[in-house]
Amino acid sequence: MSTGSTLSALELVLAFANTHADAGDRVERFTDTEGLTGWLGEVAWSGAEPARTVTDSDVVEARELRDALVTVLLSHSNDPATSDPAVRSAEAILERAGDKCPVAVRLSGAEARLGPGCGGVAGAFAGVLAAATELALSGQWARIKACRNEPCHFAFFDRSKNTSAGYCSTQCSSQASMRAYRARKKETLAKSSPSATTTE
């Protein structure tokens, strides 16, 4: 597949999805034109135009597309906090992005390749969508997930046999379990407190 990057389809999707900040060391990559240009350079985007052509609107679109992608990946993780309306809204954003620069098919006697049908920043976004499409066609799309532990939401490839992983690490799983336990305990205490009872 030719997405315009030297990365594999999986690597490109994960690299794009994991540009958002978390509560740890990961920082927001798409804060300005310099940040987006830097990311394009890191993934060796061959179709990227010079930095001066990366605009503020490109940065806004990059964040919107990235956040929509993460929302869909959270749905793959069966994240209870990700609602169906949120997923539908994210899917609409991804569809609009695809309309701006459609994925092109490159067919030869030896192979079939997917890639962006245009260049520049729009082509870079289309390259991410082409990579996601390649993963879907190969049956791997459901295994691309985002960690349910907020605010981690780190995108990862689920290698479990039954595709049941919902967290990127045991640390995130433990944090989420402890948070849920504390919430249940707080709810139980609130229900059993004198103020929660009524008198005739």
In 3-state terms, what secondary structure has residue 54?
coil
CA-wise closest residue to 144 among 135, 152, 153: 135
Local confidence band at 200 (pLDDT 50, 70, 90 cut-offs): very low
| 126 neighbors 98 (Cβ within 8 angstroms) | yes
Q: How many secondary structure helices (H) and strands (E) does the chain include?
A: 6, 4
Say which residue the tokens 């459609």 belong to.
102
Identify the helix (H) or strand (E) that includes residue 144. Answer: strand 144-146
**What band does 27 get if pLDDT is binned at 50, 70 and 90?**
very high
Q: What is the DSSP letter of 82?
A: S
- The sign of the dihedral angle between the CA atoms of 159, 160, 162, 168 is negative
Q: Are 149 and 173 in contact (CB under 8 A)?
A: yes
CB 167 within 8 A of CB 173: yes
Q: What is the pLDDT of residues 38-86, one digit of tens each?
A: 999 888 776 545 555 899 999 999 999 999 999 999 999 999 999 999 9
Homologous superfamily (CATH) of 9-166 is Jann2411-like domain (1.10.3300.10)
CA atoms lying within 13 Å on the CB side of residue 70: 24
pLDDT digits (tens, 9 = 90+) for 136-185: 999 999 999 999 999 999 999 999 999 999 999 999 999 888 887 777 77
Paired with 157 in beta bridges are: 144
| Mean of pLDDT over the chain | 88
